[in-house]
Amino acid sequence: SGVRYLCDKYGALLIFDEVVSGYGRLGKMFGHQAMSTFESSPDKEDYTKIIKPDIITMAKGLTSGYLPLGACAVSDKIFSHFYNDSESSVLPSRLAHLRQVHTYGGHPVACAVGLKNIEIIESENLPQRAHDMGSYLNNSLIKTIGDHPLVGDIRSKGLLIGIELVEDKISKTPLAEHRSASIPAFCAKHNTIVGRNGTTIPTLANVLILAPPLVINQQECDQIVHVISQALQHVPE
């Protein structure tokens, strides 16, 4: 809410990247809806409701990967400038609008898949399932591996979970590359896909990433916990 307040105060746009967090992943249809529990702004204006961005980018969960499709949604205020820019344009009014989508924009098959995918997400209430299964998986991880000496932190929102790997719990020194890389490799050999933050930040590739399907069940959550627990016992020195 603080960022929204500052954007409003200084006339800046608030853009949310919902490519990963959108369409149920964090326990709400969009990630920012799951994060909107804030206090009022410094001038006492009510910012406690769902924070409304000016622009949202989205993909991935839009079609669940069945076909490639990405989208960018903007507020009415922003869109009005795209649609009619005749005041500042030398072009005739009928041509004074933004042109950024051509050959593959609005592909009918991809859009049909997206619409059906959203229908399924809503009808099966998958955001709520992500919330419930995410809580179950997170709690199971904390109970099973939370005290392990190589686990510095377990953090989650819905079905997006990070497990921070450290050399020791006191200094929180990131686990060495070859040691942290051994865990996803072990999991893969045991039919469990576990991600890692890779080279996002050099020398800090020490966070395991769990983003299972929103339709995951408790038995599958238990398998994830069990395999990661076993992997931690086989980390090389």
Lowest mean pLDDT among 11-25, 44-58, 72-86, 211-225: 44-58
| Three-class secondary structure of residue 224 per DSSP | helix
Give the chain's mean pLDDT.
88
Is there a contact between 107 and 116 (Cβ–Cβ < 8 Å)? no
CA distances from 73 to 52, 54, 205 (A): 12, 8, 32
pLDDT in tens, 127-174: 999 999 999 999 999 999 999 999 999 999 999 999 999 999 999 999
User: Residue 39: which pLDDT band, with cuts at 50, 70 and 90?
Assistant: very low
pTM for the model stands at: 0.85
| Three-class secondary structure of residue 21 per DSSP | coil
Most confidently predicted of 69-83, 95-109, 175-189: 175-189
Note the pLDDT of residue 230. Answer: 98
| Chain-centroid distance, C-alpha 223 | 23
